[in-house]
Amino acid sequence: MSPFIARRLNAECRLQPANTRVRRLAACGLLALACSSDTTQPPGPPALVTRSAGDAQSWYHNNPLPIAFSVTVTDANSRPVPGVRVDWAIVTGSGGGSSLTPVVDSTDSKGMAATVLTLGAASVHVVTATVAGLTPVTFSANAAAPPARDSVAVKDNFFQPDSVILQVNDTVYWTWAGSQNHNVTFGPGQASATQNSGTYNKQFTTVGKFAYTCTLHAGMKGVVVVVN
Ligand SMILES: [Cu+2]
């Protein structure tokens, strides 16, 4: 908004008592709207830290959380403030192999900073994000042991459950439980027989996400998530 228009609107608000109340309110409202959406003004000093993402996840010991903890730093007019130092700290559940990457971050152009918590041996982890002079915000995460083996039913025409999680070097067991032919196919050379009864198992020796399908039925798919 140009300074000229801003002065005109200010004048409308302050100096025209003879105008109707409606007209004055309309002018003041327009001024407020124009100012709040004016991104050409640099933001003021940091006034507030708020959580953006990642709080209250449950995952497994010795694994990074799937979603990073992130915060947004804003000024007194709720505008994001870039270039602000954010210190991350584990206040509950430190030791036992837990860690933060990074420990110190700087807000980006959207006022956001983030860190990834790798869970340790503790079952509860609490992490703070601190900006000098402001009230810190707190994130929590729960850690548990991953399942050692998991079972999947091969039904007509879906896998149940269609997503399983297990620890590296453990095995998934599929059991055919429908009446039609199906298979479990990860890719070339990694497939069960096509059959309508029986079992198939596969050991997973690397961490990652492994999608599979039944090649006979479009949309019949599943995923195995392998963690440390
Ligand atoms: Cu099938």
> Is the distance from CB of 23 to CB of 79 less than 8 angstroms?
no
- Beta carbons within 10 angstroms of residue 200's beta carbon: 18
Cα 204 to ligand 1 centroid, rounded to whole Å: 22
Residue whose entry in the numeric block shows the structure tokens 């991350």: 88
Instruction: Please tell me whether residue 73 adopts helix, strand or coil conformation.
Output: strand
Cα 191 to ligand 1 centroid, rounded to whole Å: 13
Edge-to-edge strand ranges of the sheet holding 104-106: 57-60, 137-144, 124-130, 85-92, 104-106
Q: Which one-letter amino acid corresponds to residue 121?
A: A
> Is the distance from CB of 199 to CB of 174 less than 8 angstroms?
yes
Cα 187 to ligand 1 centroid, rounded to whole Å: 15
Cα 205 to ligand 1 centroid, rounded to whole Å: 26
What pLDDT sits at residue 15? 35
Cα 164 to ligand 1 centroid, rounded to whole Å: 18
Q: Count of alpha carbons within 13 Å of 90, Cβ hemisphere only?
A: 22
Find all residues with CB under 8 Å of 40, minimum gap 6, and list them: none
The tokens of 177 are what?
């439980």
Burial track 167-184 (b if 16+ CB lie within 10 A, e otherwise): beebebebebeeeeebbb
Cα 184 to ligand 1 centroid, rounded to whole Å: 8
Supply the DSSP symbol for 10: H
Cα 185 to ligand 1 centroid, rounded to whole Å: 10
Cα 172 to ligand 1 centroid, rounded to whole Å: 18
User: What CA–CA distance (Å, rounded) separates 198 from 212?
Assistant: 18
Cα 156 to ligand 1 centroid, rounded to whole Å: 7
The tokens of 127 are what?
């992490």
Find all residues with CB under 8 Å of 84, minimum gap 6, and list them: 46, 73, 106, 107, 111, 113, 131
Cα 154 to ligand 1 centroid, rounded to whole Å: 8
Cα 162 to ligand 1 centroid, rounded to whole Å: 13
What pLDDT sits at residue 208? 94
Q: What is the mean pLDDT of each run of 10 residues along the chain (228 residues)?
A: 35 36 39 49 94 97 96 97 98 95 97 98 97 97 88 97 94 97 91 96 95 96 95
Instruction: Please tell me whether residue 219 adopts helix, strand or coil conformation.
Output: coil
Cα 181 to ligand 1 centroid, rounded to whole Å: 6
What pLDDT sits at residue 158? 98
Cα 207 to ligand 1 centroid, rounded to whole Å: 26
Report pTM.
Answer: 0.70
Instruction: Please tell me whether residue 33 adopts helix, strand or coil conformation.
Output: helix
The tokens of 70 are what?
């992130």
